[in-house]
Amino acid sequence: MTYLFDSYAWIEYFLGTNKGLKVRNILDADNKILTIECNISELYEWALREERDFNFILSFVESRSELIPINLIDWINAAKIKLEMRKSKKDFGLIDSLLLTKQKEFNCKVVTGDSHFLNLKEVIMI
């Protein structure tokens, strides 16, 4: 199975929370894990704020998942998704929309705990 991890999922994993254990179970199984590039920026911001070793985090994420680049078409498609999602979720963000763009491209499940993704069928809430 293929999963697209949100930065939320990675952070829970690194914190070692109960939600992080669910992420670990997915990582430890024979699954393909994807991470979009812009989530690396979110992980970097978190590492700076929490005084965590970003080099370790980046190395781990790169070793356990495939980093997926974001291109111009992805940004355009994400803008359309954002506009549509904001009809029901007023603060749905552009990075969230990029996750859904890539989820459709790779026909996979998004793994997150972000409440913006509640009740979406293509999402596994941790």
pLDDT category of residue 32 using cuts at 50, 70 and 90: very high
Task: Name the residue among 49, 47, 114, 61 with its Cα closest to residue 97.
Answer: 114
CATH number of 2-125: 3.40.50.1010
Task: Name residue, tokens 């491209």.
Answer: 105
pLDDT tens sequence across 53-93:
999 999 999 999 999 999 999 999 999 999 999 999 999 99
pLDDT tens sequence across 88-117:
999 999 999 999 999 999 999 999 999 999
Give mean pLDDT, residues 115-120: 91
* Helices (H) then strands (E): counts for the chain: 6, 5
Query: Using CA atoms, how far apart are residues 44 and 57, in angstroms rounded to an integer?
Result: 9
**What integer pLDDT is reported at residue 125 of this predicted model?**
96
Encoding tokens for residue 71?
């291109």
pLDDT category of residue 45 using cuts at 50, 70 and 90: very high
